Each structure stands twice: as structure tokens, then as C-alpha cells.
Amino acid sequence: MKINRVELREIQMPLVHFFETSFGRTTTRRIVLVRVDADGLTGWGEVTAGEDPFYSYETPETAWHVLRDYLIPWVLGKEWTAPSDVAARFRPIRGHNMAKAALENALWVIEAKQKGVSLARAVGGTLEEIPCGVSIGIQNSIEELLERIAGEISAGYQRIKVKVKPGWDLNVLERVRAEFPRIALMADANSAYTLADLSHLKEFDRFYLMMIEQPLGWDDILDHAKLQREISTPICLDESIHSADDARKAIDVGACKIINVKLGRVGGLTSARRVHDLCRAKNIPVWCGGMLESGIGRAHNVAMSSLPGFTLPGDVSASRRYWAEDIISPEVTVTARGTIHVPQVPGLGYEPNLDRIEKVTLRKEQFR
Ligand code: OSB
Ligand code: MG
């Protein structure tokens, strides 16, 4: 495929409800979208970076810089045989995986259209329906959290993830378990603890959680291995895993029993598939994480979640949980049994709504 044109856009949309983690509260998202035109076809990708460099060092601003000054000039006007070639071309840049992923994933959509298959099929997906969970942020009170959990359970979601941090953890899980003794429950700490909290972390075991996500340092693997030897709750790594190599090392040292795959964090669909394949070979379940994506990134997550190793419910949920109006048609919807039907039509399976995108655009720049 020959890339004729790339467009960068930064959009801004308020969340329906604020989202709070151990590193802070988000009320409005700023999202960089990448539109690629090649061989008369169009593909869109999304930069999943947070507004601030708290989850990772990437932000909309760093992604814009890396895309404008490196990634786009490297691919524009050139002939590429497959998206994986572009992923290989991006290797000299260390990190900046979310910027890389946005551009590479857009090319996957174009490739799927060229082949006349769905994006899910193009990446090797087989599941036609994917199991969904929700991630519920830190609330103003435990009562509000309990109400939210009840709402999501009655909507059909298959598992509940609650965010935890020191001061909003054992006290909260105690109440959640008292009210919902049987739900599939997990906790995500986003690196809020250290090994000095070992005795405190051991107490999580009494809530029989499916897993605890990223309790220790965002760039750590070894301390997680130490912790996993001391607790029975399975550790799931999120922030620490940027590649299949990271996953291999984490599994080999026993740092986790489960891995959360995020397309942006691992640098795109080619890398995500490698992480998936490696985990499948090593019998490590994976699931698809979320980054409060707009419909574009959400659609890519749906496609990736159709890979056969995505056996646990992910954080990919309905558009309406995030947006009054999403930027794709149809929006992502969830069935009463907590699943999303994977689109089977050629390409992304959801049409970007250009009028809506234009309305929420803060800046745009095109490259030819
Ligand atoms: O750690 O999984 C995380 C959102 C932003 C940054 C990090 C995380 C999250 C979520 C939300 O948990 C998942 C979602 O609903 O998109
Ligand atoms: Mg997480």
C-alpha cells in the first residue's frame, strides 16, 4: 500500500462521568486521531495517551510531536507491503508506543478493507462475541461506588474492576464483598503500592479477587515477582508490559499470572498479537485493557479482543458509559449478557462520524 496522505486531529470530549485512579481524576478527554489515506482507502487510528504523563510518559502533545516529526515523514509517499513492516520501521524510536500504534492500527484498517475482511479477521481474530467487564473509578463515597456496581451488574457486565489506592482499598473491598459476595471482582492499583506495603497487600487475599492489577511500580517486574510469591491473589500486569519480550520476562520470573494487553501501550496490533501469542503458548490468560477511548480506539479494541487467547472479560464496554455522543456510527453497544458482537463487515466495522469529529476538533494538520 502507498500512503498518500495523513491527517492528525486533536479532539476534546467531556466524559459522561469523571474517572479517577490512584494517579488522578479525568473529566475531559483530549485525544489525537490519525487518519491515513492509501490506495484510495481510508483508515483511522487513535492515540490512547492520557492528558497528563501519569499513566505513562506519553501525552497528546508528545504523540503529536513524534507523529509529525518522525513517524509520518518516515511512512508518507512510500510503498509498504503490510502494517507489520511499518511497525518494524518504527523500531529506531524508543518507546512512544501509543503514537506508533495509532498510525499502524490505521493501516490495519486499510489492509482489512483491501482484503475485504473485518479488522478482527485481518488480525487473526476468531471470536464473534467478546466478554465484557467494566472498570469503575474511585468515587466520592463508598455508597456511590456500590450503586454504580449494582447498575453495571444489572446491565449485564460480566466482571467488575474497582480502582484502589491507599485509603480506598480494604475498607472499600470489605463493603463491596458484603453487598456482592458472588460477583467476579478485581482491583487495579495503578502502581499505588510498594513492597513496604507487603502485609497490607496480603490482606487483599481475603476478598478472593480474580486478580490484582499492577500493585507495584509502573516500570517494575522483579518486585512483582517477589510479591506474587507472598500472596495468593493472581497479579495481572498492565503498565509494566510494553512488548512480547517484557511479557516473556515477567512470566519467566513469576511476576504475574495474567496480562492486560493495551494496543497503545504495546505499540499496535502487530505487537499486541505477539504478546497474545506468547501468553497463549505459556498458558497465561490475557484480556483487553481500556484507556477511556473514543469510538475509534474502542473499535480497534473490539477487533483485538476477538483473538482466541482473550479469554477473560476486558475493560472494553459500551460507548454510552463514556460519551453523550460517540464519534462512530453505530456506537459500541453491549448485549444484556455482557458481550459485544464483533463486526463482520470489511474494515473497522464502525463508521467514523466526520461531522461529529469536526465539531469536537481542537486542531488538525495534514501531511501529503
Ligand atoms: O489502568 O486500566 C487502567 C483508564 C485510564 C488509564 C489506565 C487505566 C484505565 C482504566 C479504564 O482502568 C478502562 C476503560 O474503561 O477504558
Ligand atoms: Mg490498569
Characterize the bridge pairing of strands 328-329 and 351-352. antiparallel
- Protein residue with its CA nearest to atom 8 in ligand 1: 291
- Protein residue with its CA nearest to atom 4 in ligand 1: 291
Cα 272 to ligand 2 centroid, rounded to whole Å: 16
- State residue 289 phi and psi, 5-degree precision: -80, 170
Backbone dihedral region for residue 77 (phi beyond 0: left; psi -120 to 50: alpha; all else: beta): left
Residues 60, 66, 68: CA angle, nearest 5 degrees? 95
Ligand nearest, relative to CA of residue 20: 1
Residues 6+ apart with CB under 8 A from 75: 3, 6, 86, 89, 103
Cα 354 to ligand 2 centroid, rounded to whole Å: 31
* Angstrom distances, CA of residue 284 to CA of 5, 239, 277: 40, 17, 10
Q: What's residue 53's pLDDT? A: 98
Task: Tell which one of 13, 17, 21, 305 to mutate to probe ligand 1, the residue whose CB is within 8 A of the most ligand atoms.
Answer: 21
Cα 181 to ligand 1 centroid, rounded to whole Å: 24
- Protein residue with its CA nearest to atom 7 in ligand 1: 291
Q: Is 41 helix (H, G, I), strand (E, B) or coil?
A: strand
Q: Report the chain's C-alpha Rg in angstroms.
A: 20
Q: Which residues line ligand 1 (CB under 6 A)?
A: 50, 55, 135, 188, 190, 238, 289-292, 315
Catalytic residue among 163, 257, 282, 359: 163
Q: Residue 28 pairs with which residues in a beta bridge?
A: 14
Helices (H) and strands (E) in the chain, counts: 14, 15
Q: What's residue 31's pLDDT? A: 98
pLDDT in tens, the chain (368 residues): 999 999 999 999 999 999 999 999 999 999 999 999 999 999 999 999 999 999 999 999 999 999 999 999 999 999 999 999 999 999 999 999 999 999 999 999 999 999 999 999 999 999 999 999 999 999 999 999 999 999 999 999 999 999 999 999 999 999 999 999 999 999 999 999 999 999 999 999 999 999 999 999 999 999 999 999 999 999 999 999 999 999 999 999 999 999 999 999 999 999 999 999 999 999 999 999 999 999 999 999 999 999 999 999 999 999 999 999 999 999 999 999 999 999 999 999 999 999 999 999 999 999 99
How far is CA 340 from its chain centroid? 16
Q: What's residue 160's pLDDT? A: 98
Count of CB atoms situated within 10 Å of the CB of 103: 28
Residues 100, 101, 105: CA angle, nearest 5 degrees? 125
Characterize the bridge pairing of strands 235-237 and 3-21. unpaired
Q: What's residue 90's pLDDT? A: 98
| Bond prior to 83 in cis (omega within 30° of 0) | no
Catalytic residue status for 262: yes
Catalytic residue among 262, 282, 359, 364: 262
Q: Are 202 and 230 in contact (CB under 8 A)?
A: yes
pTM beyond 0.95:
yes
Q: What's residue 218's pLDDT? A: 97
Neighbours of ion ligand 2 (CB under 5 A): 188, 213, 238
Catalytic residue status for 2: no
3-state secondary structure the chain: CEEEEEEEEEEEEEEEEEEEECCEEEEEEEEEEEEEEECCEEEEEEECCCCCCCCCCCCHHHHHHHHHHHHHHHHCCCECCCHHHHHHHCCCCCCCHHHHHHHHHHHHHHHHHHHCCEHHHHCCCCCCEEEECEEECCCCCHHHHHHHHHHHHHHCCCCEEEECECCECHHHHHHHHHHCCCCCEEEECCCCCCHHHHHHHHHHHHHCCCCEECCCCCCCCHHHHHHHHHCCCCEEECCCCCCHHHHHHHHHHCCCCEEEECHHHHCCHHHHHHHHHHHHHCCCCEEECCCCCCHHHHHHHHHHCCCCCECCCECCCCHHHCCCCCCEECCCCCCCCCEEECCCCCECCCEECHHHHHHCEEEEEEEC
